[in-house]
Amino acid sequence: MTRTEKWDRRFLNLAKEISTWSKDPSTQVGAVIVDSDGIIIATGYNGFPRRLSDAPELYADREKKYKRVVHAELNAILHTAIDIPKFSTLYVTPIPPCTECTKAILTKEGIFRVVIGLGNGTWCAKWDAENKIAEEMMSEAGVHRTVYPLEDSCLLGSNVQPSEFEDIVGNRVTLGDVVCEAQERSTLSVSQWNTLVRDDSDYAEALIQMAVNDLHITPVEK
């Protein structure tokens, strides 16, 4: 392991800890901005603006939540009391920045590198197009993008078959999409879901099967 990778993983672990401060029961994301000397400039997690109520019922209402929530990356940028020094790095986990957060990252000229700790069980295929655009935007702006898999994350999927489904109009649905749907319906956070998978996989599989039934999808035969 190189010195860069060692420090990348340390700051990703910090971002993961900060993500637990989020009150969102569905997805918890953490971000850390660090300068070229390894000094932490700002941190952030996904949540509502300070002057708004963060009552649980508001997080339970997806439509209201998506309108009010500030993503972890943007929160970290907004919390910078000074201009971000050149050659700074933004760390985020467990999902990559969306296109809106990427705009904010590219607006801050000091951020030259984005390091992503990609958590198993937190990615849905429906985000692929958004992620590709965000990646292209960073590349065009000269921002380096590094992705690490989070080794201690857990995905229920390797022991669940099949890995692909089809809906009533023939659209393909991956197991990852189904797992995301099951996790969101359970109202468990990502970390709580991963704990459930480890400690009670039978119950987790039952929740996934319920999602399969509710989505009216059928297995794709290989």
Kindly list the catalytic residues: 73
Find the DSSP H helices in the chain. 3-19, 56-60, 62-68, 72-78, 99-107, 128-141, 175-186, 190-199, 201-215
Question: What 3-state class would DSSP assign to 198?
Answer: helix
Amino acid identity, position 59: Y
Task: Count CB-CB contacts under 10 A for residue 118.
Answer: 17
33 close to 77: Cβ distance less than 8 angstroms: yes
